[in-house]
Amino acid sequence: MSARARSFNEVLLSVEGISLSFGGVKALTDISFDIAKGEIRAIIGPNGAGKSSMLNCINGFYHPQQGAITYKGVRRSQMRPHEAAEQGIARTFQNIALFRGMSTLDNIMTGRNLRMKTGLFWQALRIGPAEREEIEHRRAVEEIIDFLEIQHVRKVPVGQLPYGLQKRVELGRALAAQPELLLLDEPMAGMNIEEKQDMCRFVLDVNDEFGTTICLIEHDMGVVMDISDRVVVLDYGRKIGDGVPDEIKRNQAVIDAYLGVGH
């Protein structure tokens, strides 16, 4: 049974007929689904199903050959990643993509870079507006650090942190941008049960406290069925299921994709 029976009306993002191929390899074929404002939407599927490609299309890193994406009522076919960031889409990566030479604090501060406007001149002198801006954003970042309970590693270079904490810092960097839509690419991969529980709690809290819409890719079915409101299932680049977790569990195509079909 789904733990969270909620209903949503407003569509934040909708994907219509997306097809993406690399040379002769079709990564995605005619995918359509939508993400409602305020929900936790999961994308699942076996390895190579095209889940990460889907996220890369949503935040403008890949450009699908066909189809369109409508975000906040604006339809677009091509978009640069920084434009997606400016419109409030933030993400984390499957393989941690932190800035390894920088401290936890600096990494999370980079999440607020789009909001930091003071120019070269004031930055060079570091007085007046530059210093005020830095302190104002530091305050916001410290709130995220408190929220994620990583105060003790604030000034540690992220390259020295254990894997679970790095994942958490990466979530913090995405949150620092105060996104409307947060894309999480396997936020719990490679974690032990306790770290997974912590991460689930953070994801749910982000959704509850900040009202952030979340789209996540995850392989742990227990986690997916517990925390998501609706689930999309991809297999070999095609959509084979879409619905609330209870429907997905009973969907024969999904069961076949995961368990294999007897011949």
Q: Which residue has the tokens 């604090």?
A: 105
Choose which of 16, 67, 68, 81 interacts with other proteins (CB under 8 A): 81
Interactions with other proteins, residue window 19-78 (CB under 8 A): 59, 61
Residue 246 near other proteins by CB under 8 A? no
Q: Which residue has the tokens 């097809």?
A: 19
Residue 91 near other proteins by CB under 8 A? yes
Options 8-16, 88-96, 186-194, 237-245: segment touching other proteins (CB under 8 A):
88-96
Q: Which residue has the tokens 């912590």?
A: 198
Residue 152 near other proteins by CB under 8 A? no
Under a CB-based contact definition with an 8 Å cutoff, are residues 108 and 168 in contact? Answer: no
Options 41-49, 107-115, 193-201, 237-245: segment touching other proteins (CB under 8 A):
107-115
Total residues in contact with other proteins, by rule CB under 8 A = 39
Compose the 121-140 pattern: x for residues touching other proteins by CB under 8 A, - for all others: --xxxx---xx-xxx--xx-
Binding site for other proteins (CB under 8 A): 59, 61, 81-82, 84-86, 90-91, 93, 97-102, 106, 109-111, 113-114, 116, 118, 120, 123-126, 130-131, 133-135, 138-139, 142, 173, 177
